[in-house]
Structure 1
Amino acid sequence: MRSIDGDATTQARIRDAAITLFGQRGFAASTVRDIATAAGISPGLVIHHFGSKAGLRTACDTHVLESARAAAGSSNDPEQLRDVLTEYLSKPDEYSRELAYIRQSVVDDSAAGDEFFDAYVRLTGQILAEGLRSGTMRQVQDPLATATWMVTNSLGLLVLGRHVARSLGNDEFGIETINRIAGPAVELYTHPLYTDESFLQATRDVVSAAEPEG
Structure 2
Amino acid sequence: MMREALADRQRYEPLLDYMSRMLTSDTAAADDLFDSLAAATRDLLEQQAAAGMMRPQSDMDATVTAVTLYGLAPVLLRRQLARSLGEDGLTEALLRRLTLPLLELYTHGIYADDRLLTAAQDALARPLGPPSGKGENDPHQDPDPPLAG
From 15, 23, 47, the equivalent of 1:130 is 47
Aligned equivalents of 1:178, 1:210: Cα separation in 2: 43
SS of corresponding position for 1:194: coil
Q: Which runs of 5 or more residues in structure 2 are unaligned?
A: 130-149
What runs of 5+ residues in structure 1 fail to find an aligned partner?
3-87
Does residue 72 of structure 2 align to residue 179 of structure 1?
A: no
5 Å matches for 1:66-77? none
Higher helix share: 1
Alignment of structure 1 residues 1-214 onto 2, 5 Å: 1=1, 88=3, 92-93=7-8, 96=12, 99-209=16-126
Shift of 1:111: 0.5
**Alpha-carbon deviations, 1:70-104, whole Å to 9, x = none?**
xxxxxxxxxxxxxxxxxx28963278365444323
Query: Higher relative contact order by CA 8 Å / sep ≥ 6: 1 or 2?
Result: 1
**Counterpart residue identity of residue 59, structure 2:** D
Q: Specify the alignment match of 2:147 in structure 1.
A: none
Q: Which amino acid is 1:191 matched to?
A: H
Overall identity of the aligned pairs, in %: 31
Asked whether the equivalents of residues 6 and 92 of structure 2 are also in contact (C-alpha less than 8 Å), the reply is no
Q: In 1, Cα distance between the equivalents of 2:104 and 2:18?
A: 28
Report which of the two structures shows the higher radius of gyration computed on alpha carbons.
Answer: 2
Residues 131, 138 of structure 1: 8 Å contact kept: no
Preserved contact between residue 89 and residue 175 of structure 1 (Cα < 8 Å)? no
TM-score normalised over the length of structure 2: 0.73
Coordinate RMSD, CA, aligned: 2.5
Letter in 2 for 1:122: A
| TM-score normalised to structure 1 length | 0.52
**Aligned pair count?**
127
- Structure-1 separation of matches of 2:124 and 2:75: 30
Q: 1:106–1:155: 8 Å Cα contact kept in structure 2?
A: no
Q: Distance in 2 between matches of 1:91 and 1:172?
A: 9
Secondary structure, aligned partner of 1:170: coil
Aligned residue for 1:162, secondary structure, equals helix
